Chain A
Amino acid sequence: MNAADLDLRRRTYAHMVENGTAPRADDLGDRDEVVAGWRRLHDEHALVLNPGTDEIRMLNPFSAVPSAWRVHARDRWWYANCAWDAFGVCACLHADGRIESSCPDCGEPIVVEVHDEKPGDESLLFHVLVPAERWWDDIVYT
């Protein structure tokens, strides 16, 4: 990853952290140049674009679109992509937080307070369906 792409990635994440939403390409500069850079970052799994639209889908661990995983941290609600990423939002913001989702089986709410990097409810189970070798075959499904 070259210095220009690293800088573009840094500015993209900084926009997310500052505003709580992913930037549009023209928020960061010349649209065509930004999209070209984002495509390279997508290819290197440094972010995830929506196919066809060149809009950001994931700035892992953040989701740029509403998801089943909401995290309250640093006085703001965020969306995450999955359970791993929900804890990742607290991790990357270096903040305590509150994770809200639901059990995929019964639909009952799941709420986890995260304090000092530890979950308040230790009874829950984390399940990963797809083996690591195939995570990026379809990262949205993973």
Chain B
Amino acid sequence: MNLFRSEEHLGRWLGGREPGATTTVVELSVLAHAWWDDRVSADWRPHTREQNQAILDRLGLTGDFWLLP
């Protein structure tokens, strides 16, 4: 899970491999804050798959690529 300076840099790095999913760094920050916000809280409880999938769904990260097991 990496940051790239542009599509051009990403394409070169992939080097013919099938790309995965790409978002903006702004979307990444929103995702990370939703996903990790409670991680060091003393009240932390494991997220269910449904909770985590709902985070992805809310941010529009949908489709087979973003489907959690």
Q: A: which residues have CB within 8 A of B? A: 1, 6, 9-10, 13-14, 16-17, 44, 46, 60-61, 82-94, 101, 103-106, 108, 110, 112, 114, 117-119, 121-134, 136, 142
Smallest beta-carbon distance A63→chain B, Å: 13
Q: Is B19 an interface residue (CB 8 A)?
A: yes
CB contact between B28 and one of A14, A60, A84, A89 (< 8 Å): that residue? A84
**A126-B35 CB under 8 A given contacts A105-B9, A105-B13, A131-B64:** no
Q: Is the CB of A133 within 8 A of B20?
A: no
Q: Is the CB of B1 within 8 A of A92?
A: no
Q: Please report the C-alpha to C-alpha distance between residue A15 and residue B68 in the assembled complex, in whole angstroms.
A: 30
**A13-B69 CB under 8 A given contacts A110-B3, A128-B1, A129-B20:** no
Residues on the B chain within 8 Å of A85, using CB: 1, 32, 36
How many residues on chain B are close to A (CB under 8 Å)?
A: 44
Q: Is the CB of A125 within 8 A of B3?
A: yes
Q: Is the CB of B4 within 8 A of A127?
A: yes
Residues on the B chain within 8 Å of A105, using CB: 4-5, 9-10, 12-13
**A114-B39 CB under 8 A given contacts A103-B5, A136-B69:** no
Residues on the B chain within 8 Å of A129, using CB: 1-2, 17, 19-20
CB contact between B20 and one of A60, A101, A127 (< 8 Å): that residue? A127
Residues on the A chain within 8 Å of B68, using CB: 132-133
Q: Is the CB of B5 within 8 A of A128?
A: no
Smallest beta-carbon distance B27→chain A, Å: 7
CB contact between B29 and one of A1, A16, A117 (< 8 Å): that residue? A117
Q: Is the CB of B39 within 8 A of A88?
A: yes
